[in-house]
Chains A and B, each alone.
Chain A
């Protein structure tokens, strides 16, 4: 069954904080829930479906309805790291499309940074994972795992550090217009290359920021969406895929996006050529290049050329990306970048992005997340939105 046209995103909210001192985790989730519902013109009394991932406090889907005052008849918690919230948009749309709920609320929020735990995933204990005894001793760190994808890409396709740097440069051009962005300064390719190597070949500026924060999304049926006073943004296509290293059959030249992009575009009835804006997961610059290729915005191996010379800068390049400044400059709350990806995609679809970076005359926007480890177990999730 196609999801196209069966659910709309009617409310969004991004918490302005980047360091949540003095705010409890539950309060942060409540702030984004209320913000997204107010944006939609709805209240917690209208919500009958609730969705969150493992960073939500306690047993999120069980305990948060009490705190928020919800009476959900459908709940779901899926954990795929940073892509969780794009997966949850997909699943919430399915729940709405099948009548399991009428108004679905997704909340994301994390306060780890203010609690002094900057590199973990809230609510996730990886010690028990089957792979851990065989990966833990090597002190790979997230940057090292993504760097191995970058180095292989350079080896296979001649991608350069300068090309990777252009991804950060584009994000910084957008972040200068976002008053909430953690880092608003415009940087150059030279600035990126001169920043310290964190995990060869990735420099510090190839890595996302570490922040607290969060966001909320409200999804409902088209019939209800049409009664609300917000621009109509429908979910046209959605797809997810988990790619692993398959017991040692490793191929780092492609990501899960190879499968999610094709399916989501088919469901949405469009192609990458129809898209002028994409929110792309930017944990690291290489993540963006891999997704551009795997989603079909360019051929495999040509992502470096695609992003060079401002290829991702709004108004300059062929495709505007992460016009809020993305995870590279604005916000990567709890090391989970998926929520902010869908939020800026909705802003672009509505025409509510900053005027300096708003894309004009476009119908379809893409949001894609890559959660987990790009060179190991990861989940790609694509959502395609259509402005009606």
Chain B
């Protein structure tokens, strides 16, 4: 299943370019040490523009999740994943037994292709 291509805004182009190469980036502030996502060219904690892209493993644990249903069937499985590198981001779970998901479960990055754009980061049980 190919999804619609994401909207690539200028400030996030390195993020999407990395995903196209199979790498997953978050951002880190060189002044205060804050790590953050989604991308922006300054630290939302201390306002510094001295920030860098930080490659991360794509491994994490489920902080919380839901199964959004349409006529009983699971239509999507939104999730907050806490990355091993420390921050928690919104995504969705794919390729899994939806009824066996639990908070605290280990998950890993799963890139889903898009129509003519970079892939979108989803997660699947590790």
Contacts and interface: CB of A to CB of B under 8 A. Distances in A.
Contact of A196 (B36, B72, B88): B72
Contacts of A149: 64
A133 B12 contact: yes
Nearest to A137: B120
A52 to B, nearest CB: 30
Contacts, number: 117
Given A148-B66, A248-B87, A155 B103 contact: yes
Contacts of A250: 63, 80, 82, 87-89
Instruction: Give the one of A131, A198, A249 with max B CB within 10 A.
Output: A249
Nearest to B91: A138
Contact of A252 (B7, B67, B80): B80
Interface in B1-37: 3-4, 6-9, 12, 26, 34-37
B53 interface: no
A247 B37 contact: yes
A283 to B, nearest CB: 15
A149 B90 CA distance: 13
B69 A197 contact: yes
Contacts of B34: 247
Interface size class of A (residues with CB under 8 A): 35 or more
Nearest to B82: A250
Contact of A134 (B35, B37, B79, B88): B37
Nearest to A153: B64
B76 A139 contact: yes
A123 interface: no
Interface of B: 3-4, 6-9, 12, 26, 34-40, 44-45, 63-69, 72, 75-76, 78-80, 82, 87-92, 103, 120, 122
Interface of A: 130-141, 143-145, 147-149, 151-152, 155, 196-202, 245-250, 252, 375-376
Given A248-B35, A375-B80, 11 more contacts: A130-B40, A138-B122, A139-B68, A139-B76, A141-B68, A145-B78, A147-B68, A149-B64, A151-B65, A201-B66, A252-B80
